[in-house]
A and B are shown apart, each in its own frame.
Chain A
């Protein structure tokens, strides 16, 4: 048996002769074509199949055990059955035409029947390989494998395969980033309570509410109907009871909203617990392996060289307790909606330097050299403060115009004002923690985005662009905002506000001249 490279070379030298001589089966054997898991046939056919299968099954169930009735049913449904067979056959042909090859230094995936697409990813360019196993996949011995690079492709994942577990094991041996022959040097497994705390901190009612909305939209009219007919009545009863018992002055609608927010938060919390509780991180010389998930199991293999930056994240509560979460930017890890690119879930600030030294050797924490002056605090807090005032004035106006619904207005006012005031406090605190420094080819940026404090650490070479921005007022006070753009699959901005222009120019080594950076 010769290697893939040798076969490729042979095909180039005398392609026609060999192609004629070697049968496809032999070629498959030599090149070792890996087919996806046969469950993929069902996935390929599924979209169209369900539309036809249910009416057919309903007809079949309604039949009595009579050969004449079966004949009559077949006479009426033969066309539908033919369509189902055609869909499944088409699914099978698509599956048979979709295969991947693992060569010496790259992986190639070919798919499509009439329009063939052939994607080749060199091992050296892979940033992340993830293997995802749902509950069903545990029974059928399959896994969703996603391979990602820093390349700007058309879809989120550069290569997505449904593979058999035996093939996944072979992939682990052959693909450099997945290969763990030398064994793991370090491993870290946070305890159960740490992960529960992490799930509480990062469970947002907003994402939960979005989740509910997505479920409703996706599930279509069946759920909508159930909710309209049954749940609305039950929900009204519950909210009426709670309102009557606990808060007689607050309307049932307001209680209903509050319950919905709580429910959505609970959902978000539950999802985070199920996803992150089995979290374990292992590291060897070149790559990192991350395991997580209870019901749906995830394994991520990250290429250390492809980590774009490290992000130490905190919110105000975490800052008070001096704890933080280490996130990373690496294409393919934590890029999906509701995913957190977590590296170390929770750690004390004094552990940060040591942990970073172990897991991200090249990237270090530096002291901030350029910071905003404390007198610039208004630049940080004016937006939430302004919004808070607007909401307050608008609700006062609503009280005068619609006194009959004052209960609802009061609740809405409280619901909207609390996060705005909280945001104002968060932004005020950020004045004391914001800044940046560039030292020894390392960049360190501290800033606040919405409710989160970020400390970004990256190598200088990963920075694609630095922009200096000045408003009319800032021009007068000789201040500026600095925007850093750092390499990743999607360009992300990191904004440090209200810095002294002179200090920035001195530290960055270039001058700001009328909207242009010279």
Chain B
């Protein structure tokens, strides 16, 4: 049985993206809502609160909670921040696979594997390139 974790590089990239989006939203609020200053400040505060919650609390917990086990015959996914979920899928039940990856995914860890099986699907998120290839080669055996 081998254990796979979500790539932490993905966490840092997401944090940077969220920070940039928050700064842009704040600047927009400052430029266009300065005539209602009270509302502007509240909005800016909300933006930063969301940014703080997602980047500092939710995402680290999510990345910590996500892990996958691959045995000879099945793959098991543990995930969930507030509600823990366990998903089990037999390799022979998989009908087809879809890999979604962004540019520079080898560095960023933005690799997603969707396993489509009879009656349901399992999404493996933020996989390292090496882990993705390993899982894919396991699945290939059940063609």
Contacts and interface: CB of A to CB of B under 8 A. Distances in A.
Contacts of B35: none
A119 interface: yes
B119 A491 contact: yes
Nearest to B101: A116
**Most A C-beta atoms less than 10 A away, residue of B96, B97, B99, B120:** B96
A158 B118 contact: no
Given A105-B143, A152-B116, A152-B120, A122 B101 contact: no
B95 interface: yes
B96 A151 contact: yes
A346 B119 CA distance: 32
B98 interface: yes
B117 interface: yes
A152 B121 contact: yes
A177 B63 CA distance: 42
Interface residues of A, number: 25
B103 interface: yes
A245 interface: no
B100 A117 contact: yes
What is the size category of the interface that chain B forms with chain A?
10 to 19
A106 interface: yes
Contacts of B86: none
Interface string A136-174: 000000000000011111000011000000000000000
Interface in B100-143: 100-103, 116-121, 133, 143
Contacts of B94: 125, 151
A150 B118 contact: yes
Contacts of B121: 151-153
Nearest to B133: A12
B116 A124 contact: no
Contacts of A491: 119
Contacts of A115: 100-102
A106 B143 contact: yes
A121 B118 CA distance: 14
Given A117-B98, A120-B97, A122-B96, A151 B143 contact: no
B100 A116 contact: yes
Contacts of B99: 116-120
Nearest to A121: B96
A152 B116 CA distance: 6
Contact of B95 (A12, A105, A125, A464): A125
B94 to A, nearest CB: 7
B134 to A, nearest CB: 11
A114 interface: yes
Interface of B: 94-103, 116-121, 133, 143
22 contacts: A106-B143, A118-B99, A118-B100, A119-B97, A119-B99, A120-B96, A121-B95, A122-B96, A122-B143, A125-B94, A125-B95, A150-B118, A151-B95, A151-B96, A151-B116, A151-B118, A152-B117, A152-B121, A158-B95, A158-B116, A487-B119, A491-B119
